[in-house]
Amino acid sequence: MILKDYFTVTDGVGILSTADQKGVVDAALYSKPHFMEDGTLAFIMRDRLTHSNIESNPHATYLFIEDGPGKSGKRLYLTKNRQEKNSELLFSLRRRKQSVEESEDLFLVYFTLDRERPLVGD
């Protein structure tokens, strides 16, 4: 199954793990990735720890755990390649249309998929 299709039809929980330039690790709940026409994956980020980490260390791992019994899902190994701040595209991609304070910046962060592995095993 194509990865974009997998995320379209599969429900679950996603965790994006990053590390700062010293290697101090962080993990945060994140929605499913957005699949862009150029083949990159993108996440919408607020200007918090995950975004700060990805600014100093471009590597991340996205762990997706499928809903239901068993231990199924995906591990995506990612490298940041660019970002946009408060862009029209970012706001059009938002799945939740909650209001954001005007003073809070949002970033659409693009990643190259380096490797895909199953949640358990390989």
The token pair that represents 47 in the structure block = 């200007």
pLDDT in tens, 15-45: 999 999 999 999 999 999 999 999 999 999 9
**Model confidence over 77-109: pLDDT tens digits?**
999 999 999 999 999 888 766 655 556 899 999
98: Cβ–Cβ under 8 A, 6 or more apart, which residues? none
What residues form DSSP beta bridges with 43? 109
Please tell me whether the overall predicted TM-score, pTM, comes out greater than 0.85 for this model: yes
As a whole number of angstroms, the distance between CA 81 and CA 59 comes to 10
